[in-house]
């Protein structure tokens, strides 16, 4: 039993149910470019409305709400960014949270949750072009991965690894983090043809970019080659069905050298599938956004690896919510 559920009150339920209002305010402000417009400026709502081609009264009310939420300051009927908004929500800043554009896309897909629950799969059709969606998705993943890559490298023993395969590697952030830890390591980023050009842009400024090469393909249908000491599956298994992951682990196993490792980095659910909370929510994110994705338990992941021939499996938890399931080929 989850005892926390007994602590819900009417006011807490109302707060949770109305949480979408704050989310929509933030996402609309990012979508309209308000924080970038206000950077280092003190501007009236009428001028903001003019610059974003919006209604003056409606813009004023949006800016007032952003003040109430702590994103803007207001002095003499003019607005300017708080320090946090200036650091994280201005496009030109190095810490800009560009992944919020992807969050805005998730807002739309989550609106279809009721119908997705009824039919058992995603019913969402994106209004954006495939290129726009992919670019915002990779940006969101890179923002998070760039911070986590060093931690992941520290949790793995990379001293003897010479060649790694980064399946669905996106921006290449984890490959770069592994190479920074072990400059002798060579990484192959395997991803879809429409993603690899974006990967190359992210890697271009990396000091060891010559250590990274690229393979375009579909990890469910295309082969990986062999000779790898490490195969990384970061945020991959939740996209697939149980059976697809079972087959994928066999392909990974066949590509490994003896002593090589398959590293699954993902949400790892309790057997009851109610913890961690982030994983329970993410299972629904996969329901509204994919054909057959889900979050999986440690038992299920061990079953995939055992079926592939892996007998040595360990789990490592992190403070980020996700965990590692590491299988070593004997």
153-200: pLDDT as tens digits: 999 989 889 999 999 999 999 999 999 999 999 999 999 999 999 999
pLDDT band at 1 (very low <50, low <70, confident <90, very high): very low
**Rounded mean pLDDT of 32-38?**
97
**Rounded mean pLDDT of 112-125?**
94
Whether residue 36 is contained in a domain is answered as yes
Same domain, 139 and 192: yes
- Give Cα 292 to chain centroid, integer Å: 18
Same domain, 134 and 42: no
Same domain, 83 and 136: no
Res 29 pLDDT > 90 = yes
**What are the backbone angles phi and psi of residue 76, rounded to the nearest 5°?**
50, 45
Same domain, 86 and 146: no
Other C-beta atoms lying within 10 Å of the C-beta of residue 320: 13
| pLDDT tens digits along 229-285 | 999 999 999 999 999 999 999 999 999 999 999 999 999 999 999 999 999 999 999
Domain end, chosen from 34, 62, 91, is at 91
Kind of pairing, strands 228-234 and 256-266? parallel
In whole angstroms, how far apart are CA 106 and each of 89, 113, 150, 173, 251? Answer: 18, 11, 27, 22, 31
Whether residue 106 is contained in a domain is answered as no
Alpha-helix residue ranges (DSSP H) falling in the chain: 10-17, 19-32, 34-38, 45-51, 56-69, 83-88, 100-110, 113-119, 130-155, 173-181, 196-203, 242-255, 277-289, 298-308
**Rounded mean pLDDT of 315-328?**
92
pLDDT band at 131 (very low <50, low <70, confident <90, very high): low
Residue 70: predicted pLDDT: 97
Whether residue 97 is contained in a domain is answered as no
Residue 139: predicted pLDDT: 84
Same domain, 55 and 157: no
What is the residue-averaged pLDDT of the chain?
93
Same domain, 157 and 19: no
Same domain, 76 and 140: no
Query: Of 50, 53, 56, 89, whose CA–CA distance to 70 is shortest?
Result: 89
**Rounded mean pLDDT of 108-131?**
84
Residue 64: predicted pLDDT: 98
Token pair recorded at residue 325: 């399931």
Same domain, 312 and 184: yes
Q: Determine contact, residues 193/130, Cβ cutoff 8 Å.
A: no
In whole angstroms, how far apart are CA 139 and each of 88, 170, 194, 313? Answer: 14, 9, 14, 32
Domain end, chosen from 69, 91, 113, is at 91
Same domain, 217 and 324: yes
Same domain, 261 and 159: yes
Res 4 pLDDT > 80 = no
Token pair recorded at residue 225: 């080659």
Domain end, chosen from 91, 111, 146, is at 91
209 — alpha (psi -120 to 50), left (phi > 0) or beta? alpha
**What CATH number corresponds to the domain at position 322?**
3.40.50.150
Buried b (16+ CB within 10 A) or exposed e, 201-229: ebbeebebeebbebbeeebeeeebeeebb
Whether residue 100 is contained in a domain is answered as no
Whether residue 69 is contained in a domain is answered as yes
Same domain, 23 and 167: no
Same domain, 75 and 136: no
**What CATH number corresponds to the domain at position 58?**
1.10.10.10
First to last CA, the chain: 39
In whole angstroms, how far apart are CA 98 and each of 32, 109, 218? Answer: 13, 18, 26
- Widest Cα–Cα separation across the chain: 70
**What are the backbone angles phi and psi of residue 220, rounded to the nearest 5°?**
-80, -25
Whether residue 123 is contained in a domain is answered as no
Q: Determine contact, residues 267/234, Cβ cutoff 8 Å.
A: no
Res 73 pLDDT > 90 = yes
Whether residue 311 is contained in a domain is answered as yes
Res 66 pLDDT > 80 = yes
* Residue span of the structural domain in which 260 resides: 130-328
Q: What is the pTM (predicted TM-score) of this model?
A: 0.88
Whether residue 111 is contained in a domain is answered as no
Token pair recorded at residue 183: 């400059």
Count how many domains the chain has.
Answer: 2
Question: How far, in Å, CA of 153 to CA of 232, rounded?
Answer: 11
């Amino acid at each position: 039993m989850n005892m926390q559920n007994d602590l819900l009150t009417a006011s807490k339920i109302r707060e949770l149910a109305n949480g979408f209002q704050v989310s929509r305010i933030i996402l609309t402000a990012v979508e309209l470019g308000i924080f970038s417009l206000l950077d280092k400026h003190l501007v009236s709502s009428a001028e903001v409305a003019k610059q974003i081609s919006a209604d003056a009264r409606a813009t004023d009310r949006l800016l007032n709400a952003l003040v109430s939420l702590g994103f803007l300051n207001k002095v003499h009927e003019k607005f300017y960014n708080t320090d946090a908004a200036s650091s994280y929500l201005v496009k030109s800043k190095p810490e800009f949270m560009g992944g919020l554009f992807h969050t805005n896309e998730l807002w739309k897909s989550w609106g279809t949750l009721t119908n997705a629950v009824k039919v058992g799969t995603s019913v969402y059709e994106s209004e954006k072009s495939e290129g726009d969606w992919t670019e915002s998705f990779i940006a969101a993943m890179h923002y998070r991965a760039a911070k986590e890559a060093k931690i992941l490298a520290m949790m793995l023993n990379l001293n003897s690894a010479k060649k790694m395969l980064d399946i669905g590697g996106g921006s290449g952030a984890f490959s770069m983090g592994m190479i920074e830890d072990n400059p002798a390591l060579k990484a192959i980023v395997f991803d879809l043809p429409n993603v690899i050009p974006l990967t190359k842009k992210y890697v271009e400024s990396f000091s060891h970019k010559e250590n990274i090469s690229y393979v375009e393909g579909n990890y469910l249908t295309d082969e990986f080659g062999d000779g790898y000491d490490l195969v990384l599956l970061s945020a991959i298994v939740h996209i697939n069905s149980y059976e697809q992951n079972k087959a994928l682990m066999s392909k990974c196993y066949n590509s490994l050298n003896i002593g090589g490792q398959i590293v699954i980095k993902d949400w790892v659910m309790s057997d009851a599938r109610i913890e961690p909370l982030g994983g329970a929510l993410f299972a629904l994110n996969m329901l509204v956004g994919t054909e057959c994705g889900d979050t999986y338990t440690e038992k299920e992941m061990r079953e995939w690896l055992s079926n592939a021939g892996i007998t040595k499996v360990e789990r490592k938890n992190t403070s980020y919510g996700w965990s590692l399931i590491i299988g070593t080929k004997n």
